[in-house]
Amino acid sequence: MVGSPSHPEIKSAPDQLGHASGSDRWLTVQEVADRLHVSRDTVERWIHASQLRAANVSAALRRGRYRPSWRVHHQALEEFLNARLNKPPSPAKPPIRRQSTGVTEFIK
């Protein structure tokens, strides 16, 4: 029997397909976007800016074509969110005031 207690080395079907909520859960870009209520483009922008760690699992790289297929580990997503949530708000910068030269001359 698959995934039975007598055969702990055999994983159940959801574990093999990556649908388990275990420690090896990988998310697609669309799943991350849906979870955070942002667009796929935003998630890919974070990946390209190295803000969100992801793995490119595309087989096209081996054939000379480049169309990335990103997967984000659930722990990398948690780290990304924690880094954003735990940042204190940046203090507001005071407006830059120009120094007065002292005398303002008006043309009549």
Q: What is the pLDDT of residues 56-78, one digit of tens each?
A: 988 765 666 677 899 999 999 99
44 belongs to a structural domain: yes
19 belongs to a structural domain: no
Q: Domain tally for the chain?
A: 1
Q: What is the pTM of this model?
A: 0.56
36 belongs to a structural domain: yes
Residue 101 clears pLDDT 50, i.e. is over it = yes
100-105 long-range contacts, CB within 8 A, separation 24+: none
93 belongs to a structural domain: no
pLDDT score at 78: 93
7 belongs to a structural domain: no
Residue 18's identity, in one-letter code, is G
Classified as helix, coil or strand, 14 is helix
68 belongs to a structural domain: yes
Higher pLDDT, 36 or 65: 36
20 belongs to a structural domain: no
Residue 53 clears pLDDT 70, i.e. is over it = yes
Q: Could you tell me if 26 and 74 are in contact, meaning their C-beta atoms sit under 8 angstroms apart? A: yes
47 belongs to a structural domain: yes
